[in-house]
Amino acid sequence: MPHFTIKNRFQKRSELYEDILTRDILRDVSLRITGRPDFTVDFDNDGYNKGRLATLEYQGTIIYISFSEFEIRSRNSFFQSFPSALVRYHQETSTNKRICFYFLPPNGNIQTDYFIFMYRLMKTAGTEFLNEADHLTTPITPFNSVADIIALRDLNRSRNTGNASTYVTVNENDTLQIYGKTYGANKYETTLLCLAIYEITQYEMELYEIQEGNLRLLPALARQVIIARGVTVITSDLTLEQEEYEANDSLRSPTYTYNLLEKLGDKKCVLCDCEIPQIIQGAHIWPVVSIKRANNINQDRKLQYAIDGDNGIWLCNNHHKLFDINMLLITDDGQIKYKTNIEENHEDYICDVTSNHQIPNQILTQSFVEYLDKRNRLLDESRYSFIE
């Protein structure tokens, strides 16, 4: 006979079990999974918060069932239980296992763009929805590619500025990198995104835990499960950033990359629109070598300048190099100039490959312009011409 184990989250107050997981609901779940209306139930009280989770054992298979929240206080609260359930499912040692999600009758709109995005991530991560047809007007489709995830995520992001906490990109070594914040609700989204992408990517994966102040790592179980999938997890704290600043001029600083993704969006050369992430890098406006040489600034402040999202743009390899050797210059109002009195065919090449002649206004913040001033004060602008 199907046997349910109800995890303790539902049992914190004794009435909750009766209110939420009624026998009618359990019968419905059992019917949908096993085809049988009869079942036995007991409780698991080991003190963990297991994320609105029940398990069902039947014919040698263990099925993890995560139940939706009733109250839609915020979009994050609705999804905070599921990733914990997914983590527990991955920790299950039996190979005969399934992960399912069951909609309890909702109290609010559960079909916003963000909700649909999250359902699709859940399905991509291997989740079966037991009763989606009863609650959603269109079926949930899993993502086929990481590019689809990024594209839809950006669509959501433009309508919800400031809500983004996780970014996905590919670096020059063809490694897929996930940059995630790890506090509050962000940790749930980061965990789910990581486990969903793992199912569909061919790339090596790195997860960067972006720290702010004393905020913590991902929850230990989630971290273990992600590492067990072969993902390299790197914590970006100030010690690591300091080492990166000293050894490599912050070129591979995770926090710098995170800050640029947050300010500029996905990698795209600002001078030629190239979007091939493997050949695009964060280019410092005020170069780190100059920051290091600056007088009267303490080390902590210097590090902040080196990893500031306002101190950078995305450039492709060619434009990064041309910018670094000052064959290109950005004026304080964001126009692009090139160095004259060089070989004519070199001038022609630079003008040909530089299709954009102006840095977009939203990049030209006050801090950005201050960094430009620090850079340009060493250059003679009269030796540069506007690109025709």
Interface residues toward Zn ion, by CB under 5 A: 269, 271-272, 274, 316, 319
Pairing of strands 3-7, 53-58: antiparallel
Whichever of 54 and 271 has its CB closer to Zn ion, that residue is: 271
> Minimal distance in Å, beta carbon 353 to Zn ion?
7
Query: Are 167 and 194 contacting, i.e. CB atoms less than 8 angstroms apart?
Result: no
> Minimal distance in Å, beta carbon 343 to Zn ion?
20
> Minimal distance in Å, beta carbon 356 to Zn ion?
9
Whichever of 217 and 272 has its CB closer to Zn ion, that residue is: 272
Cα Rg of the chain, angstroms: 25
> Minimal distance in Å, beta carbon 209 to Zn ion?
30
In terms of Cβ atoms closer than 10 Å to its own Cβ (0-12, 13-18, 19+), residue 198 is buried
The 3-class secondary structure across 272-311, one letter per residue, is: CCCCCHHHEEEEECCCHHHHHHCCCCCHHHHHHHHCCCCC
Query: Are 270 and 359 contacting, i.e. CB atoms less than 8 angstroms apart?
Result: yes
CA dihedral 221, 224, 226, 231 (to 10 degrees): 160
Other C-beta atoms within 10 Å of 154: how many? 13
> Minimal distance in Å, beta carbon 277 to Zn ion?
13
